[in-house]
Chain A
Amino acid sequence: MPTTAAQLGTKSAALERKVRTGRVGLKRWLGPDYRLGFLFVLPIVVLVLALVAYPFGYAVYLSMTRKYVGLPPVFVGFENYVKLTFDGFFQRAVVNSFVFTFGSVGVKLLLGMGMALVLTSQIRFRSFWTGVLLIPWVAPTVVSALNFLWIYDGSLGVLNYLLVKVFRILPQGVGWLSEAGTAMASVIAVNVWRGFPFFGISFLAGMKAIPGELYEAAAVDGATAVQRFRHVTMPGIRNIVIIVMLLSTIWTFNDFAIVYILTKGGPGGTTMVLPVFTYEMAFGAQRLGEAIAAALYMLPPLAFVIIVLARHMRRGRAK
């Protein structure tokens, strides 16, 4: 049946109404300037897709392949992840990573707090000491690690020289990086040395923001120094402590340079942590698929930490 002009007009009006309703719906949902909004966010979306999403997606894909240098990848599904899960050497690397991370962060927390408390007290040359204590944080990691490699040297190192020859505390030098009891502790010590000023300076900033009246009121109420620390200082810097700890956990978990330069994960895998394991798998074994799988294995625990951090920061801002 032929369509009349009137019928056509009715149809187009209905269509127009539908489109308009849709637009109105979108406008109501996304706001009146949603088109302009899309235009504004487009560059950053493209940038994020190109620089973050694509490489990440490709890494996830490669982690599910058998990929050797110079050859195309062969898809193997979750084989690499399964293999890693039952690999004793990888399991030790996971355990070592947690020992290294939480050992370091724990000590950095204590030292950082101590540093901040000392620097808030009335000491002479406070600015000078603040500057001195920042040196480890400012020094390049590679330089610090190479220095410690020499400091820890069993025969020629300054640490053994001081302990054996100068102070005569030990009868014989210790193989700091070569013995089961000291290797992990030694690499943790370097990470602590390097990282504690960040804790200290952050805590110092938090402590300086606490109004002096609170301490005065607490003192008037008869609070001891410990009580003032517990009931005034700690609540005042609580958020900073959490954020600094979370950030440091992420950084320490991913720390490669210190362990690699000092021990390469040795001896016998005693200090093998996940970043070094990943590196060895990629450039030593040259099994790129498995290396990426090992790297992505770290993702869930790190993602958990990041989510906690982000939620905490959002909550802090809302307050």
Chain B
Amino acid sequence: MDSRLKDLAEKLDAGLIARREFLRKAAVVTGGTAVGLKALEGMARAQSQTKLRVWLFKSFVTAGNDLLAKQIETWAAERKVQVEMDWATFGDREQKFVAAIEAGNPPDMAEMNYQGPSRYKPALRDVTKLAKDVAAVRGGLFPYAERVVNLNGQFFGVARLAFGGGFFVRKDLLDAKGVKLPKVYDPDVVEMAKKTQDPSKDLWGFGQTLNRSDDGNGYMQNILWNYGGGVWDKDGKPALNTTFQKQNLEAIKFSVDTIQKHKIQPPGVMGWTDVHNNEAYMAGKLVSTNNGASLYYAMVAKKHPLAEKTQVILTPGGPAGSYLAAGAYNWGIFNKSKHAELCEDLIRWVEDEKRFDEYTKASIGQAGSVYKSRADKPYWKTDPNFDGMLQNILRSVWVGYPGPFSAAAVEVQAQYILCDMAGRVVVGGLSAEAALKEAHARVEEIYKIRGGKV
């Protein structure tokens, strides 16, 4: 018996306190003890509860981020697991991974971009069985996505989505001038831009930076392919200034001409980062620009008047076709995790079709399909602009194309070598030939270090 209750009982027996007072004090003591014990029990349970550290990618589509976090919280409550979520953005994602891996303290699992499996392979767990299971019931992976996660037969990531996007065009301005939607950059985009722009009103036909940014990287990669060129040949060897020299020169010259000769790009475009074209487009300063679906999301979410005047179409092509690089965002589980099975369970949970459908809906076109069955979802027919985004994803190729996806190809992107190449012509005053030669030397150096493997 509690000593305080014993004291009270003795006092009652001795007639020192009334029966009512005994009952009142006994109730307080018993209640207090019960509350205390409950609190202790809760604390003990919290301490013994499994804790999972999950790193997520914070995209510009905030509704998608919120929904994913909510789904994970629901899973955690159901499995009675404590989850610590941390977010990384475009700007600090790789830094966080490098620091955590080198410090020997990575999270249990993380949402990585296309570079993750190849770059962090030594720290990642082989998830082949799970990845194959998830893909099998979804019609399999598209080739561009499979190459990112399947490294020489072993999966180091479970593919989730690819960021959709396309060529954003001010349909109202094109209609006003009777201009058709462009299919190729040269001459379609150039002519469209010249006819619709009005520099005196600070309205520019085309907004595409070649500066060090993901937007610049993506455009430069695509335009080389569109002209029949590329950084790598089909064996995965450097081809910038060898196999594809002629085609690449044409592509560089066209890109530089959009700024210097055709003057269809706004002043300062070479200083842009990833957000500048979004801002300029939404401010009504651009007739067209290449961007991810986040731009459309921003306009729709804010009920921006330009949302209705915008059409998202297939990214324009060139003489050799119309190419686009895409990479799958994916889930990776780290070697150091002691809860790999829980991580796998969480991945299955968030990739469940019902939950992924909710996420797709919230993301307004950004959650592009990496699995074949997801491309057939009726969602993609609910908005005319989604079709352009989906078709872009479906025809995507991988970084390193027409060769294999490789660590060297990833590093060329990560070092913005193609952007630097264009920048050296536009700003540095180099000839296209000299810039190509310089960039090729850097690619050769990377190839020497990384080899052609993943």
Contact = CB atoms under 8 A, between A and B. Distances in A.
A195 interface: no
B102 A177 contact: no
B415 A268 contact: no
A298 interface: no
A178 B414 contact: no
A175 B265 CA distance: 11
Nearest to B202: A155
A71 B122 contact: yes
Interface stretch (B180-188, B245-253, B314-322, B418-426): B418-426
Given A267-B426, A268-B420, A69 B268 contact: no
B268 A270 contact: no
Contact of A174 (B267, B272, B416): B267
Nearest to A260: B91
A269 B280 CA distance: 24
B428 A180 contact: yes
Interface in B204-220: 204, 210-213
A165 to B, nearest CB: 9
A305 to B, nearest CB: 29
A156 B279 contact: yes
A9 interface: no
Interface stretch (B70-78, B93-101, B189-197, B352-360): B93-101
A160 B280 CA distance: 14
Contact of B272 (A71, A178, A282): A178
A112 B120 CA distance: 48
Interface stretch (A34-42, A218-226, A284-292): A284-292
Nearest to A66: B449
Interface string B266-287: 1111111100100110010100
B68 to A, nearest CB: 25
Given A284-B414, A286-B414, A267 B271 contact: yes
Interface string A130-154: 0000000000000000000000111
B270 A284 contact: no
Interface in A61-101: 68-71, 88-89
Contacts of A283: 94-95, 98
A287 B442 CA distance: 14
B143 to A, nearest CB: 26
B283 A156 contact: yes
B411 A285 contact: yes
A266 B211 contact: yes
B285 A268 contact: no
A173 interface: yes
Nearest to A180: B427
Contacts of B213: 264
A284 B95 CA distance: 9
A174 B212 CA distance: 19
Interface residues of A, number: 39
Given A155-B202, A155-B285, A287-B449, A267 B267 contact: no
A88 B438 CA distance: 9
A154 to B, nearest CB: 2
Interface in B59-79: none
Interface string A101-140: 0000000000000000000000000000000000000000
Interface string B116-143: 0001111100000000000000000000
A78 to B, nearest CB: 16
Interface string A237-272: 000000000000000000000000001111111100
B101 A70 contact: yes
Contacts of A199: none
Contacts of A156: 279-280, 283, 285
A268 B271 contact: no
B451 interface: no
A82 to B, nearest CB: 13
Given A175-B267, A175-B270, A89 B442 contact: yes
A286 B115 CA distance: 12
Contact of B427 (A70, A160, A178): A178
Nearest to A173: B267
Nearest to A89: B442
A203 interface: no
A284 B416 contact: yes
Contacts of B210: 267
Given A69-B102, A269-B428, A263 B414 contact: no
A267 B212 contact: yes
A178 B441 CA distance: 24
A267 B204 CA distance: 20
Contacts of B411: 284-286
B402 interface: no
A179 B427 CA distance: 6
In the A-B complex, list the 7 residue pairs whose CB atoms are closest, starting with the nearest.
A154-B268, A268-B423, A178-B271, A177-B271, A175-B268, A178-B270, A70-B122
Given A153-B279, A155-B202, A179-B427, 15 more contacts: A70-B102, A89-B442, A153-B276, A154-B271, A155-B267, A155-B285, A178-B211, A178-B271, A179-B270, A180-B428, A267-B271, A268-B427, A268-B428, A269-B424, A270-B427
22 contacts: A69-B101, A70-B120, A71-B122, A89-B420, A153-B276, A156-B280, A173-B267, A178-B267, A178-B269, A178-B271, A178-B272, A179-B427, A180-B429, A183-B427, A264-B416, A266-B211, A266-B419, A267-B211, A267-B212, A267-B419, A268-B421, A284-B411
Interface of A: 68-71, 88-89, 152-157, 160, 172-180, 183, 263-270, 280, 282-288
Interface of B: 94-95, 97-98, 101-102, 119-123, 199, 202, 204, 210-213, 266-273, 276, 279-280, 283, 285, 411, 414-416, 419-429, 438, 441-442, 446, 449
